[in-house]
A and B are shown apart, each in its own frame.
Chain A
Amino acid sequence: KNEVEQSPQNLTAQEGEFITINCSYSVGISALHWLQQHPGGGIVSLFMLSSGKKKHGRLIATINIQEKHSSLHITASHPRDSAVYICAVRPLTQGGSEKLVFGKGTKLTVNP
């Protein structure tokens, strides 16, 4: 079983819809990242969070450390939001670690 599980694997929505992508993990972590990978392959970091909630424009990320779960929400979705969204966690290790463990990603397609 992968340490980081994302759902759904694929998501198709109509423009304007509210989108939720989920990420569950099985280890203690010091931080969780949400990344966006465009069709060409380039990756952009959207959020890094260790508690609570962060908002940037139409994107909102939440995390519940006790439940080992995070969600990425997109309000008023647009075709340009179409991309693969990747969740990654930094496991807690003694002395700290540089290692991120990645989910396999959620492919989002927003149709006009």
Chain B
Amino acid sequence: SQTIHQWPATLVQPVGSPLSLECTVEGTSNPNLYWYRQAAGRGLQLLFYSVGIGQISSEVPQNLSASRPQDRQFILSSKKLLLSDSGFYLCAWTRGRQETQYFGPGTRLLVL
């Protein structure tokens, strides 16, 4: 069966510090991968998606970047965190385009 992992589960970082959140998927190959953010009081927002290694599409201009160094690994990064980067970050995968999304457990990020 397929599983999706995210770490860390919770992170508290100072403003201006770097960020690296990792997402890995097991039990499938060539998944489509997604990063979402859920800010307090707001709906989920798609940040990045990837249909293959090294292929990243950005949905919104922001302080964050994403990379996919391996087939089942998706990384969300920032060089300098802002207060507004605080939120709940979710990784998700699908088998193909426009199919059911399976979400990871999420990472709560608090930038102080």
Interface residues of chain A, those whose CB is within 8 Å of chain B, are 2, 4, 30-31, 33, 35, 40-45, 48, 86, 88, 90, 96, 98-100, 102-105
Contact = CB atoms under 8 A, between A and B. Distances in A.
A90 B34 CA distance: 14
Interface of B: 32, 34, 41-46, 49, 51, 57, 59, 88, 90, 92, 97-103, 105-106, 108
Nearest to A45: B100
B98 A90 contact: yes
Contact of A43 (B32, B46, B99, B103): B103
A98 B34 contact: yes
A97 to B, nearest CB: 8
B98 A31 contact: yes
Contacts of A98: 32, 34, 46, 49, 51, 57, 97-98
B77 to A, nearest CB: 20
A42 B43 contact: no
26 contacts: A30-B98, A33-B101, A41-B88, A41-B105, A41-B106, A42-B103, A43-B90, A43-B92, A45-B100, A45-B101, A86-B43, A86-B44, A90-B98, A96-B98, A98-B34, A98-B46, A98-B49, A98-B51, A99-B46, A100-B44, A100-B46, A102-B43, A102-B44, A102-B45, A103-B43, A104-B42
Given A40-B105, A88-B44, A98-B57, 13 more contacts: A33-B100, A33-B101, A41-B88, A41-B90, A41-B105, A42-B105, A43-B90, A90-B98, A98-B46, A98-B49, A100-B44, A104-B41, A104-B42
B42 A42 contact: no
A2 B43 contact: yes
A99 B57 CA distance: 10
Nearest to A4: B43
A5 to B, nearest CB: 10
